[in-house]
Amino acid sequence: MAAPLLTHHRVSALTALLPLLALDRLPRTGWVLAGVPDPESIAAHSLGTALVVLALGPRVAPPLDVDRAASLAVLHDAPEALLTDLPRSAVECLPPGAKAEGERRAAERLLAPLSALALERFQEFQAGATREARFVRLCDKLHLGLRWLAYRREGRGELAEFRGTLERLACAEFGPCAELQAEILAAAERPDSHDHHVGWDGRGGERAR
């Protein structure tokens, strides 16, 4: 059950939005520790997760509220604008529940001024009780898998541990998630010469590379 919303004085949209711009600048620290140069930002990961939601959500049966799931994906890492992306090694040094409590407090500071809806959506994701929240949690990890595959093909960093994260992902509740998981792992087994990458030709069209 979501915690009750705190009462906040109304602030301007500008005041509410500016602190969230940190998400554009802060990197995903797991990639940093793996030696990946110029890794994706937290904001890029949130967008990527939302795109996975929009790709897989319409394929799920019984149907999900895909629009709501997409909003959960956009907001799921918003507290990291204050907390940064804590790596697993750091979280393991914290008392049980400390990370979740920090995220809850950071969300109240960041998202309540944005809108009550934004905070409600984050609380839904954090609780993980709805099908949409559980689906977005899987899409979060599947986007990590997609990024791992891309970095692996580019030869960037020491990435073996990320494969294990993807392999251990329990996707049975949502068939399309299980299919993408299997597809990513199968693609990682193919030689680079057999991979087909899509880039941009500089004129708004796609080119193979």
pLDDT given at position 191: 72
CA distances (Å), 111 to each of 6, 81, 108, 114, 129, in order?
11, 11, 6, 5, 20
As a whole number of angstroms, the distance between CA 62 and CA 51 comes to 20
Contact of 185 with 166, CB cutoff 8 Å: yes
Locate 179 and state its tokens: 């299919």
3-state secondary structure of 195: coil
Contact of 209 with 197, CB cutoff 8 Å: yes
pLDDT given at position 79: 98
Contact of 171 with 181, CB cutoff 8 Å: yes
> Tens place of pLDDT for every residue, the chain, 209 residues?
444 444 456 789 999 999 999 999 999 999 999 999 999 999 999 999 999 999 999 999 999 999 999 999 999 999 999 999 998 889 999 999 999 999 999 999 999 999 999 999 999 999 999 999 999 999 999 999 999 999 999 998 889 889 999 999 999 999 999 999 999 999 998 876 333 443 333 333 333 33
pLDDT given at position 5: 45
pLDDT given at position 98: 96
Q: Which CATH architecture has domain 13-189?
A: Orthogonal Bundle (1.10)
